[in-house]
Amino acid sequence: MLRSLYSGISGMKNFQSKLDVVANNVANVNTHGFKKSRITFKDMVSQTIASSGGTTDNTGSINSKQIGLGSSISSIDKIMSPGSSQDTGDPWDFYINGDGFFQIQKQGETLYMRAGNFKPDTEGNLVTPDGNYLLDAAGNKINVPMDGVSSVSVGLDGTITYVKDNKTETAGQVALVTFNNAAGLDKVGGNLYRRTQSSGAPSQPVAPGSEGTGELQTGKLEMSNVDLTDEFTEMIIAQRGFQSNAKTITTSDEILQELVNLKR
């Protein structure tokens, strides 16, 4: 009788975790460059009541008799499909039309991101809204002179040019990297990702549009890949699954109560 109680408890915990994942997806539906997650489950160890048997001279083979002991979390996967682009009109908003990640320097550590909302700081270095530096292929900061500059443009290959004293100069070039298993990256907050053993090392930084990376489009940002229709459906599934497992516990408790009443 207690097996059903513990199975119901494991189910409730898992569906609560599923709801946590769905809630985080919904909360980030408007977060630029956000990649949604999904949760999958697996069954736990089963208790064998009777073992299987092979064929004998007098009987055929028999299957084992097993009772499952609940479920557990199998994985929480990142879905790295691209989000749609949103026109912003800001020349410092970069959209990767394809695969690739920007290289970001945060307190001396190289991290990666898809969201391309950058701004020049007071020294002309391109930074994220949190003040982290955007890096070029050589791992250097990208600096755009601001004094006496009449115009700045960014090409599809990430080359940043500016006009000063009627001369066109190059300020630097945005570089992108790719991963063999981008879903293996760890989220560290602030739209940033950190490489892991699962993701593998990043590729050599290259110009956007080369070696499998997407072209760079300015004046656009990548939206979240969260689909609210899917998330609300998953939310209903999580709620009903939680209720069903709670009902299992309630029913088991009622049967236990009947057993206790037999003593009276």
**Percent of the chain clearing pLDDT 70 (strictly above):** 99
Binning pLDDT at 50, 70 and 90, where does residue 96 land?
Answer: very high
210-250 pLDDT, tens digit each: 998 999 999 999 999 999 999 999 999 999 999 999 999 99
Write down the pLDDT at residue 72.
Answer: 94
Write down the pLDDT at residue 258.
Answer: 87
Binning pLDDT at 50, 70 and 90, where does residue 166 land?
Answer: confident
Write down the pLDDT at residue 182.
Answer: 95
Note the pTM of the prediction, 2 decimals. Answer: 0.87
Query: What letter represents residue 66's amino acid?
Result: Q
Write down the pLDDT at residue 3.
Answer: 86
> What average pLDDT is seen over the chain?
92
13-62 pLDDT, tens digit each: 999 999 999 999 999 999 999 999 999 999 988 888 888 888 887 888 88
121-142 pLDDT, tens digit each: 999 999 999 999 999 999 999 9
Write down the pLDDT at residue 150.
Answer: 80
Q: What is the mean pLDDT of residues 61-76?
A: 90
Instruction: Indicate if the pLDDT at residue 263 is higher than 80.
Output: no
Write down the pLDDT at residue 264.
Answer: 67
- Range name among 99-108, 163-172, 200-209 with the lowest pLDDT average: 163-172
Instruction: Indicate if the pLDDT at residue 1 is higher than 70.
Output: no
